[in-house]
Amino acid sequence: MKKVIILGSNGQLGQTVKRFTDIEPGEFQFFSRKELDITDKKSLIGVFKDSGFDYCINCAAYTNVEGAETHTEDAFSINAEGAKNIAEVCNIYQVKLIHISTDYVFDGNKEKPYTTAETTNPINQYGKSKLQGELYIKAQLNAYYIIRTSWLYSLHGKNFLKTIIGKIESGASLNITTEENGTPTSCIDLAAFILHIIKTDSVPYGIYNFSAKGSTTWYGFAKEIVKNLSPENSSMITPTDSFKTVAKRPKFSVLNLDKTEEFYKELNTWQESVRLMVSSYKSQIS
C-alpha cells in the first residue's frame, strides 16, 4: 500500500484529489498551507522524517497571475523556493515528487501545440516563478513528474467556471476575450491522471503535459459553460478582442498531449469535461 502526502490540500486541485482518495487504495495525508508551509524547509523535514511516504503531490502554488506582477517575491517564494524545498526533502527521504506546473512557462508565440521539449520563455512573473520551480526540481531530483497543465477549473475555490456561473446566475452580461487560445482542464481529469501515475507506478519520470483535448478561447469556454448551464442565457456572453490585464499572457498556450497519451488514454475533449462539471454543479443545487 502506497503512502502519499498532498501539499496545498485546500486549493481546487487538492480538494479534488481528496474526493478521489475515498475509492483509491493507499494512505493519503493532506496538508493545507496553514498546516504545512512549503516555504519552511524545517517544517517539511519534520513531517517527512520517518513518514515512509512513497509519493508527494505538490498542489501548493501562488496562482494569482495578476497578483504575481506586484507581489513577485511572494510568487517566487512559493512557486520557486517552495518547490526547491520540497524537492530537497523528497531527495533526502527518497520520495517521488508529482509537481503541478503551467502552460504559462511558454511565451505563446507559436501556432502549434507545445511539446514538453519546447524552449520555455515565460512572459509574466507567474510563469517565471513556476519555471524556476521546475528548474530547481530537475536539479535536485531524478524521481519526479512535472505536470504542465492549463486553465484549471473545478467546483472548488476561485476559477473561471465558477465565476461565469456566478455572473450568469446573478443576471450579469459579460464581455469575454477571444485574444488567448488554450485548453480548459478539469481538476477531476487531472486528479485522475495523477492517481493513475501512483496506482500504476510505471510511468517514466519526467515532464508531462496534461489538459483536455482540443482548444478554445476564454470566450469559447464561457459559451460552453452557459450552453450547459442555461442555454437560454447564451446571449449574455459577448466576445471582445482585447481585455486589459496587468500581466502579459501567452496568446497561444495549447499543450501537445502525445507523450501523455503513450501512458494514459482516458482524455476527454474539453467540451465533454465542461459538460460533466456543469452537470455535477446542477445536481448539487437541485
Instruction: Answer whether residue 21 is part of any domain.
Output: yes
240 closest CA partner among 270, 215, 218, 271: 218
pLDDT for 21-47, tens place per residue?
876 667 999 999 999 999 999 999 999
* pLDDT of 242 higher than 80: no
- Average pLDDT score over residue span 180-202: 97
CA–CA distance, 32 with 59 (Å, rounded to integer): 10
Q: Are 223 and 237 in contact (CB under 8 A)?
A: yes
Q: The domain containing residue 53 runs over which residues?
A: 3-159+185-214+254-267
CA–CA distance, 66 with 70 (Å, rounded to integer): 8
Structural domains of the chain, count: 1
Instruction: Answer whether residue 63 is part of any domain.
Output: yes
Task: Provide the pLDDT for residue 102.
Answer: 98
The three-point CA angle 201-152-13 to 5° equals 50
Instruction: Answer whether residue 221 is part of any domain.
Output: no
Left, alpha or beta for 8 (phi > 0: left; psi -120 to 50: alpha)? left
Instruction: Answer whether residue 274 is part of any domain.
Output: no
Task: Provide the pLDDT for residue 241.
Answer: 86
The domain spanning residue 61 has which CATH number? 3.40.50.720
> Would you place residue 211 in the very low, low, confident or very high pLDDT band (cuts 50, 70, 90)?
very high
Instruction: Answer whether residue 41 is part of any domain.
Output: yes
Instruction: Answer whether residue 232 is part of any domain.
Output: no
Write down the pTM of the prediction.
0.97
pLDDT for 41-98, tens place per residue?
999 999 999 999 999 999 999 999 999 999 999 999 999 999 999 999 999 999 999 9
Instruction: Answer whether residue 229 is part of any domain.
Output: no
Task: Round the average pLDDT of the chain to a whole number and report it.
Answer: 96
Instruction: Answer whether residue 202 is part of any domain.
Output: yes
- Average pLDDT score over residue span 186-198: 97
Q: What is the DSSP letter of 232?
A: G
